């Protein structure tokens, strides 16, 4: 009987270690996922957003001028993907910081978005949640930073 108990404990330990290694909730992984968010906004792939965004996703744009759901985002990305491009020339992130508490990550930073005629600098805050080893984007808030006068 003892060999079975030892075997069981071995597999239990191995299983728990494997699950811990599969967590997406590390600063490095979240930063990479967030950079992919920016890249895929520039070069739309609707399937990426379908997979990344939680069903409850909400994006509050500048001064709540527009509020997007997952459905809104996926539709827009499908349309842009079919057209072959977005209306954006570039998206450049900077000063990206990640704070992780439990299964939740808050990502903050700045993105310069160039849609012409001049680029706009935005501050962003995004919330990622890990569910069953997979990270989902739940919320995004962006605010344009006024140009210096």
CATH number, span 23-144 = 3.10.450.50
pLDDT value, residue 18: 45
Locate the domains of the chain by residue range: 23-144
pTM: 0.82
Beta strands in the chain (DSSP E): 53-60, 67-69, 90-101, 104-114, 120-131, 134-144
pLDDT value, residue 44: 93
Report in angstroms the alpha-carbon separations of 95 from 15, 36, 112, 147, 149.
37, 16, 11, 18, 23
Distance CA 126, CA 20 (A): 24
pLDDT value, residue 91: 93
pLDDT value, residue 74: 96
**52-56 long-range Cβ contacts below 8 angstroms, 24+ apart:** 52/136, 52/137, 53/136, 53/137, 54/129, 54/136, 54/137, 54/138, 56/138
> Where do runs of H (alpha helix) occur along 43-145?
46-52, 70-83
pLDDT tens for the chain, 149 residues: list them. 566 665 555 554 545 544 445 789 999 999 999 999 999 999 999 999 999 999 999 999 998 999 999 999 999 999 999 988 788 899 999 999 999 999 999 999 999 999 989 999 999 999 999 999 999 999 999 999 988 75
């Amino acid at each position: 009987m003892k060999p079975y108990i030892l075997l069981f404990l071995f597999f239990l330990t191995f299983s728990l270690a494997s699950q811990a290694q599969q967590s997406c909730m590390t600063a490095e992984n979240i930063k990479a996922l967030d950079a992919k968010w920016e890249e895929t906004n520039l070069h739309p792939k609707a399937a990426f957003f379908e997979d990344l965004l939680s069903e409850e996703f909400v994006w509050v744009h500048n001064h709540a001028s527009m509020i997007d759901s997952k459905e809104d985002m996926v539709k827009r990305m499908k349309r842009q993907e079919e057209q072959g491009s977005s209306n954006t020339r570039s998206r450049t992130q900077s000063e990206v910081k990640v704070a992780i508490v439990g299964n939740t990550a808050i990502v903050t930073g700045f993105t310069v978005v160039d849609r012409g005629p001049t680029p706009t600098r935005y501050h962003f805050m995004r919330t990622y949640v890990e569910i069953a080893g997979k990270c989902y984007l739940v919320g995004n808030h962006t605010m344009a930073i006024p140009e210096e006068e």
